[in-house]
Structure 1
């Protein structure tokens, strides 16, 4: 008989159980309860754990096996040649941390096949907004003038970036956001971008799976290295989408 997930202590500074003790079914469920305070969230990500639950549920904490990741090395995020050709004349640009709340709101409201409602609840939005205010959560925004055409958001701990969600308001907007983030992270010496749970779309874009044990070793090393604290507006700069265009 499969055991129940761990019940978290009320103290937000209390340690999580080891991620390797997560359930096999449902895959990766580790713990239930607690809160979304900044100390608890940072502690979770630092140990390869993230919250994921729907409105009306208690907070559920996960560490699935395997884990899906993108290498930030050149070619780690794959854009099809056809899509890259379409970027030759693109006037999109990519930047960071200018419209965090709008990116999270777009991710929350985007209809997804087979999903009724959103897991990005009001409670989650407030918690990640606080992480953003403190310089731990970041948004990547693809802009066409003042129009937001795509983006993603996630959490940075040390030199690990943990992607949370992405969206496209125009076809390919999220792909450009992901490619731009991977390029900047690679330039900064951050080798991996966590994408949490595998799906066919991520695999087509070049994501690789790693056994949880191997993923946790990566996190243990990278999350303790010096990162980039605070807002990324200036550090990230502006990256034109046509930088990813296929050569003529």
Structure 2
């Protein structure tokens, strides 16, 4: 873990190169700190992915309209609206630029009152690297996650990285894997990349 000098934006090439090595940034009191957890959180995209029964009932009611990539910046801003956040202006602008490049994506839950929940992350090869999520109404972030998994499956993705495990994610079947195993998984989903290790993902929403 190391710190970098203050800057206005992290270049997309730097961010993508870091993700390709299993490293991701977070802001801490005005500094950008880079992490590579010893134990990595992963949500399986196969039959081990579990939707809790109560959430399945909520999904059948279709309380939200699901949109992809229509309000990326707003999703990030909502994720940052908490007492303690690692999303500062540098992180915000860096990932918005990565979104402009076609590598960062948002899944959004909307209703007649506006944006009520969602998540965002980075897509490379056949891997998606989840960054943060938020809810303004009950189950909104969970519903966004279910639609993310559906979209990733439909697009042939094989890895959903959650960085760390939380009780919120564990109920979906999230597990921890050692760093060495995670790196093997990472290389497997990036093995069809060009010499730079990166190409724009073909990510599409469910349906």
What TM-score do the two structures reach when normalised by structure 1? 0.74
Q: Identify the structure with the greater strand proportion.
A: 2
CA spacing shift, 1:89–1:200, aligned 2, 3 Å: closer
Alignment-derived partner of residue 37 in structure 1: 11
Query: Does the Cα contact within 8 Å between 2:124 and 2:201 map onto a contact in 1?
Result: no
Cα distance change on mapping 1:225 and 1:94 into 2, 3 Å: farther
State the SS of the aligned residue for 1:71: coil
Give the aligned length.
200
Pairwise CA distance, 1:192: 1.5
Output the TM-score relative to the length of structure 2.
0.88
- Gaps spanning 5+ residues in structure 1: where? 1-29, 240-248
Q: Deviations over 1:66-112 (max 9, x none)?
A: 10011112451x22212222332234222211110110010011x3x
- Alignment RMSD: 2.1
**Cα gap change, 1:198/1:168 in structure 2, threshold over 3 Å: closer, same or farther?**
same
- Whether 2:170 is the aligned partner of 1:203: answer yes
- Structure 2: unaligned runs, 5 residues or longer: none
Partner of 1:180: 147
Q: CA deviation at 1:188?
A: 1.6
Match of 2:200 in 1: 229
- CA apart distance, 1:198: 1.6
Question: Do the aligned residues in 1 keep the contact of 2:27 with 2:86 (CA within 8 Å)?
Answer: yes
Matched residue, 2:46? 73
Residue matched to 1:87: 59
Structure 1 position 118, deviation (Å): 1.4
Query: 1:202 Cα deviation (Å)?
Result: 1.4
Superposed structure 1 runs of 4+ greater than 2 Å apart:
86-91, 223-232
Counterpart of 2:92? 125
Report the structure number with the largest CA radius of gyration: 1
